[in-house]
Structure 1
Amino acid sequence: MAQDTVRLDSLELAAAGYKQSMPRRFSLWSLAALAFDLTCTWLGVGSSLGISLTEASAAGTLWTILIAGCMTTVVAAGRSWSLAQNTSHSLHSCKLKVFSPLLRATAYEASPIRNGWISILGWWLGAASVANFISSMILEIVSVWYPNYGIEHWHQYLTYVALTWLAVAINVFASRWIPLFNKLIFVLAVLTLTATMFTLFIVSRNHHATSEWIFTDTTNRTGWGSDGWAFMLGVGTAVYSFLGSDCGAHLCEEIPNPSKNVPRVILYPLVIGMLTAFPFTASLLYSITDLNAVFNTSSGLPLIEVYYQGTGSKTAASILLALFATCFFGNLVANVSRDNTLPYSNIWMQVNETFQMPVNAVVLSGVVITLYGLIFLGSTTAFSAMLSAAIIFQQTSCVIPQAVLLYRGRDKVLPPRHFSLGRLGPYINGLAVAWVVFLDILYCFPTALPVTPQNMSYVSVVSTGLVAFVIALWFTTKKGVFKGPKVDHELMNQRRLAAIEGEEIGGDEVSKAGSHNVERELKGL
């Protein structure tokens, strides 16, 4: 039965117009671990704590997690339903000549489900943000033990570059052990999260913040006259904590029965993220006794100050932050791209026979992320704008296919599938699209008033520039050249019907019959 399942998966990939190039080294458990490692909501909350406290204080920081988590789950649910059919084929049929190229690319190992250049930019920008936060944590630990040490931008940039290329080296030289690496990071994350919460709650029990401040204080320190608007800015910040959940969509070639398992590893980490991030955030807020000290850390990353106020020990605070940074490092692994949409794609999409992974694509990702970091040397404001753009690109890439399917009518394009939202599907898709449109507008506003060149939001400028760059690349390098996969839609439906019927009946004969039927049809490909 297992061999039939693997063969059916390979046949489905061929029906989608692709040749199996990557080994199916990920189990459901290892892919779920990777999804949790990349999403790791509690890590996102800890790294952006200072921003959220400024926008909406303690209560805003706490409650925006649930709002952002629920809405991101809506977006992910709509995306998971959309993943049941070949999005690139639908877009091609819809003749969207501008958005189609933006949706025809994968991140990591050759997924037949198109996310596009917008998604690739989002993942690269997201990786840059992770490397930037980790480098800040490392330098913050140094400054705690060496108070006279002055942190310079170039110090942080060199640390940022070292972390980026360490992640590249792991992808290249240890690719066969990445599933094990993901499991280890997952176990470490669970242990670190649990240990941190218990430590802060127990050690801080005699000196801690009041419950009233934690659960009800929404003091607005942004300068905006509307507390409600400042709270929504906090919601936008909380969305960062839920990025990365769609990594399962980029690994369809490496997991058995992707049409069934990928929606699981997209949705489960979001639910787990909300369940873990809420108590973790409460433990951080519980430990704060001097809010001004939290805001005035030397690196601008207040987490170590919170740990120090909670534990009263530099050693304990440094250990907790070092573990936090190690878990966060797992996010840097798996941020590469391989497909036929990028310029000179014949170079980037090659899978190295020795390492069994796209070495050229990994190196490309490392180079681009390194170049992103140069902006930090010139302007921290502009670099922050690029990180906000990561949220825009990743979220927008998730809802463009949903918007297109709403426009065309879902019943006309979706085949039978394991994951279905039934009659709620169109409403969930519509809500997801509206939510992301709101976020895209929200991120274009400055987070503080009065507006100065230092605090102005350059997100609109960065996003427009990058999209213009992508469109220019399309018209100069891929227009009239990119063909996309040749999808046999009828064959795809047959394979999925065979898989679903085989699972429902529970017999091997149905799956085998479906496999033989599909295999017979594939002889002409």
Structure 2
Amino acid sequence: MDEIADKSALGDDETRLASLGLEQAMKRNFNVWSLIFMGFCTSVTWEVITSSMAQALMTGGSSSIVWGFLASSCGALLIAFSLSEYASMIPTAGGQYHYVAALAPPRSRRVLSWIADWVTIWAWILSALAGLFANTLLLQSYIILFSKEYLYQRLHTSLMLVAFATWCAVVSIFGIKLLHRLTFLGIALHIGGYLTTMIYLLVAVRPKISATYVFTDLTNLSGWKSDGVAWSIGLMGSALSLTNWDSTLHLAEGMKDASKKLPRTIWGCVATSSLITFPWVIALSFCITDIQAVLNGPVGRLAPLTQIVYNISGGDLSTTIGVTWFFLFLSTFVGGPSVLTATSRIVWSFAREGALPPIFGQIHPRLGVPVNAIILCWAVISAMSFIYVGNETAFYGISSGVTVVMIFSYSFPIMIDIMYPVRNENLPFGSFQLGRAKWPVNVGAVCWSIYLMIFMCFPSTIPVTQINMNYSVVIFAFPFVLAGITWFSYGRKIYKAPFKEDSD
């Protein structure tokens, strides 16, 4: 009976793709559970907070971590609901840029979807780079703390990152069926690390900070005179921790019965991650008894949670590694390969429609994956890792830069839907609809996105110097410049946006 149901679902998927002008090219190895687990493993919400909370501690203190996460959860859920409706209508690997193509006015459909894709590709390349970078810094933090002879060099960071990226590429190429099963290992590591860190901190830290401090403290070590500005800048960690869940969108063409089940993986991942992580954030805040001791520790800015556990345990090796190793394994075996896989699917989808050289739009006949697209993503990520050797501050700007670019990629189709509410009659609604809640949800999602993008571009400390400059604006501008150059050089001549109406 299950086999018959699977065939029926596959037929429905192929029919919907055909109605959108696309052909089924990849095997559908994923179901709703494996994809929602992948969403957890690529967003890695509590893990990302631990690796990026140094900025929140400096610019907003405990209240920025606690209430900032709650605000970020509400904003992310609004965005997820909006994109879930589009995903139900258009369950394709292109994700955001396909939504833009479907929702934009006919005259500007081609150029707007072109821009949307370059932004989405860039967001995911940055996301893969930032995740591998955090993984590398965690491993290096162990070496720095427990190998006194080791001399830290940024070149080592870049070389280790390339090694991690190579491993992820190998899994993405040869282990796509295994990746489906590895998501279950990933969720076990995700939950195991969550419980281990929370229980250890709550038991080991005595006395704890008062509730008044946890919920009202606004530590401002940023130099900004306005505490409100500082608090808003401190949202970076929380906002970053609630991105990357759209990995499920870009694997839509590898999911069975995608139109009906894909929306559940999107809003379900965001809602569940938020509900689970909020108590963890509160517990963490009660246990950070000395902010300066964390920030000024040997690895306090590289891996804050590792520094916290190191301080609490009195420098004990087994405790420090035993409590913090979960993220390293999760990123190496599940999160990293999943992010690289999702990135390659966006590149493949764009190339399939003629916007990139045809070689990147090919599916390997035996492996059933876009091998060339994966290799291209690996090469770009590996090359970019060496930025860290020449400019440490530019590389750290990726953390805030990826948040800005990713949030824009989410909000772009929503903005178009608000400004141009004329429906394409060739695209009927899917099974997930917002109904009367559509307008307030979309407006709320866009307002939150604009707020985040503005403050993520602010320097985290002032006065601004070459060392502490925030490069988010430069990072955000890059895909628009690239889209403009490629559009006028060849895109406007060869690119045909998907889902064009008959009257176009």
Partner secondary structure for residue 338 of structure 1: helix
CA contact (8 A) 2:59 2:222 kept: yes
Check if 1:384 corresponds to 2:359. no
Q: Identity of counterpart residues, as a percentage?
A: 26
Distance in 1 (alpha carbons) for counterparts of 2:501 and 2:453? 35
Partner secondary structure for residue 245 of structure 1: coil
Residues 111-164 of structure 1: CA distance to partner in whole angstroms, max 9, x if unpaired? xxxxx1211100100111111111110010111112342211111111111111
Q: Which moved more, 1:340-349 or 1:39-48?
A: 340-349
- Match of 2:473, as an amino acid? S
Distance in 1 (alpha carbons) for counterparts of 2:229 and 2:36? 35
- Match of 1:328, as an amino acid? S
Distance in 1 (alpha carbons) for counterparts of 2:34 and 2:192? 17
What's the offset of the Cα at 1:489? 8.8
Check if 1:303 corresponds to 2:305. yes
1:245 aligned partner: 245
- Match of 1:13, as an amino acid? L
Residues 410-451 of structure 1: CA distance to partner in whole angstroms, max 9, x if unpaired? 556562321111112022112222222222222222111111
Change (3 A) 1:96 1:416: closer
Distance in 1 (alpha carbons) for counterparts of 2:423 and 2:19? 21
Distance in 1 (alpha carbons) for counterparts of 2:202 and 2:67? 19
- Match of 1:237, as an amino acid? G
Residues 366-391 of structure 1: CA distance to partner in whole angstroms, max 9, x if unpaired? 11111221211111221122332221
2:11 aligned partner: 7
1:124 aligned partner: 125
CA contact (8 A) 1:92 1:100 kept: no
Distance in 2 (alpha carbons) for counterparts of 1:94 and 1:76? 28
Distance in 2 (alpha carbons) for counterparts of 1:184 and 1:237? 25
What's the offset of the Cα at 1:102? 2.0
Change (3 A) 1:488 1:353: farther
Residues 335-381 of structure 1: CA distance to partner in whole angstroms, max 9, x if unpaired? 22312457643111111122110111111111111122121111122
Distance in 1 (alpha carbons) for counterparts of 2:56 and 2:247? 26
- Match of 1:482, as an amino acid? Y
Residues 300-339 of structure 1: CA distance to partner in whole angstroms, max 9, x if unpaired? 2221111123444331111222222212333222322312
2:200 aligned partner: 199
Partner secondary structure for residue 458 of structure 2: coil
CA contact (8 A) 1:189 1:327 kept: yes
Partner secondary structure for residue 104 of structure 2: helix
Change (3 A) 1:152 1:298: farther
Partner secondary structure for residue 221 of structure 2: coil
CA contact (8 A) 2:309 2:323 kept: yes
Specify which of 462, 474, 482 is matched with residue 461 of structure 1. Answer: 474
Residues 203-239 of structure 1: CA distance to partner in whole angstroms, max 9, x if unpaired? 22x3433333322211111111111111111223310
Distance in 2 (alpha carbons) for counterparts of 1:345 and 1:148? 48
Q: Which moved more, 1:211-220 or 1:480-489?
A: 480-489
Change (3 A) 1:101 1:208: same
What's the offset of the Cα at 1:89? 3.4
1:154 aligned partner: 155
Change (3 A) 1:344 1:270: closer
1:41 aligned partner: 45
Distance in 1 (alpha carbons) for counterparts of 2:196 and 2:224? 38
Partner secondary structure for residue 95 of structure 1: helix
Specify which of 461, 464, 483 is matched with residue 451 of structure 1. Answer: 464
Change (3 A) 1:143 1:236: closer
CA contact (8 A) 2:85 2:433 kept: yes
Residues 453-486 of structure 1: CA distance to partner in whole angstroms, max 9, x if unpaired? 1112222123223320222122223221122446
Change (3 A) 1:487 1:14: farther
Residues 30-56 of structure 1: CA distance to partner in whole angstroms, max 9, x if unpaired? 111101111121011111121111111
- Match of 2:103, as an amino acid? S
Distance in 2 (alpha carbons) for counterparts of 1:100 and 1:172? 28
Distance in 1 (alpha carbons) for counterparts of 2:199 and 2:449? 36
TM-score by length of 1: 0.86
Change (3 A) 1:84 1:28: closer
Change (3 A) 1:291 1:442: closer
Change (3 A) 1:489 1:168: farther
Pairs within 5 Å for 1:395-474: 395-409=407-421, 415-474=428-487
Distance in 2 (alpha carbons) for counterparts of 1:297 and 1:13? 53
CA contact (8 A) 1:200 1:311 kept: no
Larger radius of gyration: 1
Unaligned 5+ segments in structure 1 are: 104-115, 491-525
Residues 62-94 of structure 1: CA distance to partner in whole angstroms, max 9, x if unpaired? 211110111011111111123343532333625
- Match of 1:128, as an amino acid? L
CA contact (8 A) 1:24 1:253 kept: yes
What's the offset of the Cα at 1:392? 1.7
1:182 aligned partner: 183
Change (3 A) 1:211 1:309: farther
- Match of 1:320, as an amino acid? V
Distance in 1 (alpha carbons) for counterparts of 2:75 and 2:190? 24
TM-score by length of 2: 0.89
1:89 aligned partner: 102
- Match of 2:158, as an amino acid? Y
Change (3 A) 1:466 1:298: farther
CA contact (8 A) 2:103 2:424 kept: no
- Match of 1:474, as an amino acid? W
1:357 aligned partner: 369
What's the offset of the Cα at 1:98? 3.1
Distance in 2 (alpha carbons) for counterparts of 1:374 and 1:215? 40
CA contact (8 A) 1:39 1:241 kept: yes
- Match of 2:75, as an amino acid? M
Pairs within 5 Å for 1:195-234: 195-204=196-205, 206-234=206-234
Q: Which moved more, 1:132-141 or 1:321-330?
A: 321-330
Distance in 1 (alpha carbons) for counterparts of 2:150 and 2:297? 13
> What do you get for the CA RMSD once the two structures are aligned?
2.1
CA contact (8 A) 1:444 1:458 kept: yes
CA contact (8 A) 1:289 1:309 kept: no
CA contact (8 A) 1:68 1:236 kept: no
Check if 1:478 corresponds to 2:491. yes
Distance in 2 (alpha carbons) for counterparts of 1:276 and 1:309? 26
- Match of 2:349, as an amino acid? D
Q: Which moved more, 1:413-422 or 1:158-167?
A: 413-422
What's the offset of the Cα at 1:261? 1.2
1:338 aligned partner: 348
